[in-house]
């Protein structure tokens, strides 16, 4: 199996690139943010709970997020691999993901971290917010808080995967095609 963690701050291009990688390598793309947003739209209990955190740019609690991710993975027993987008986001999530994959006799193959400077992240997200309707893209303070949460709670995961010799960094600046080519190069 090929299991990739596509990593990076809010607006780095994880969702954009995951859609391409998924087609190229026949992987299942699991974005925890997208799954939460689908639950918000469907007004499920999970969505109602998650919305309180997401609208402020805070992380949804680990236990519910992990449970949701595991149940998504279990929906695809015959998959040839996964691309995890927006998960894991805390050291605890990463540890639980490792345990879960080990129990399925598989593991993370590689973490690819997209590197994009903060000013570019803010301008991408503000401009997406004009059309997307994403509540957490509507205001600069919330975007800045998401980046702060990433720096405080999530960025440390690069060290977690580096310690396993699984980290690759990719420059996320350039056209979408240029970034995709860099990612294919790292995966191949
Ligand atoms: P999530 O949905 O994961 O959002 P995020 O990490 O904030 O990142 P985005 O989806 O905004 O950015 P992206 O990196 O996918 O970039 P994209 O391709 O869209 O999480 C949202 C919330 O859900 C979290 O805040 C949290 O509350 C909760 N959550 C999710 N997972 C969780 C977890 N594991 N634990 C706890 N809570 C969790 O691109 C951004 C924009 O830039 C787009 O408009 C795109 O068109 C544009 N763009 C892309 N590439 C380029 C390029 N090369 N050049 C110019 N523009 C580009
Ligand atoms: Mg995304």
Beta pairing, strands 28-31 & 110-115: unpaired
Segment 11-28, tens digit of pLDDT: 999 999 999 999 999 999
Rounded-to-integer distance, Cα 156 and Cα 148, Å: 13
DSSP H or E run through 104: none
Q: Which residues contact 127 (CB under 8 A, 6 or more apart)?
A: none
- Ligand closest to Cα of 65 equals 1
Residue 29, ligand 1, Cβ within 6 A: no
Question: Could you tell me what percent of the chain has a pLDDT over 70?
Answer: 100
| Residues with catalytic roles | 14, 89, 128, 134, 146
Report the atom number in ligand 1 closest to the C-alpha of 124: 42
CATH code, domain carrying 45? 3.40.50.300
Rounded-to-integer distance, Cα 112 and Cα 187, Å: 9
- Stated pTM of the model: 0.97
Query: What is the band of 133 on the pLDDT scale with cuts at 50, 70, 90?
Result: confident
Nearest residue (CA) to ligand 1, atom 47: 124
Q: Are 59 and 90 in contact (CB under 8 A)?
A: yes
Segment 52-92, tens digit of pLDDT: 999 999 999 999 999 999 999 999 999 999 999 999 999 99
Domain that holds residue 36: 2-187
Look at the chain and report how many structural domains it folds into: 1
Query: What is the band of 132 on the pLDDT scale with cuts at 50, 70, 90?
Result: confident
Range 117-135 average pLDDT: 93
Segment 89-105, tens digit of pLDDT: 999 999 999 999 999 99
Strands across the sheet containing 81-85 = 28-31, 81-85, 2-7, 110-115, 167-171
Q: Which residues contact 188 (CB under 8 A, 6 or more apart)?
A: none
Ligand 2 center to 11 CA (angstroms)? 7
């Amino acid at each position: 199996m090929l299991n990739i963690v596509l990593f990076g701050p809010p607006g780095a291009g994880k969702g954009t690139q995951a859609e391409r990688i998924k087609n190229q390598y026949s992987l299942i793309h699991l974005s925890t943010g997208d799954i939460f947003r689908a639950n918000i739209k469907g007004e499920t209990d999970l969505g109602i709970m998650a919305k309180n955190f997401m609208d402020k740019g805070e992380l949804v609690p680990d236990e519910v997020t992990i449970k949701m991710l595991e149940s998504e993975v279990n929906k695809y027993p015959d998959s040839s691999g996964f691309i995890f987008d927006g998960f894991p986001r805390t050291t605890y999530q990463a540890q639980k993901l490792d345990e879960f994959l080990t129990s399925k006799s598989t593991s993370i193959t590689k973490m690819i971290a997209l590197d994009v400077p903060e000013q570019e992240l803010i301008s991408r997200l503000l401009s997406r917010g004009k059309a997307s309707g994403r509540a957490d893209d509507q205001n600069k303070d919330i975007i800045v808080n998401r980046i702060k949460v990433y720096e405080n709670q999530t960025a440390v995961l690069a060290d977690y995967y580096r310690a396993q010799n699984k980290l690759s960094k990719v420059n996320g600046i350039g056209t979408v095609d240029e970034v995709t080519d860099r990612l294919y190069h790292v995966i191949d």
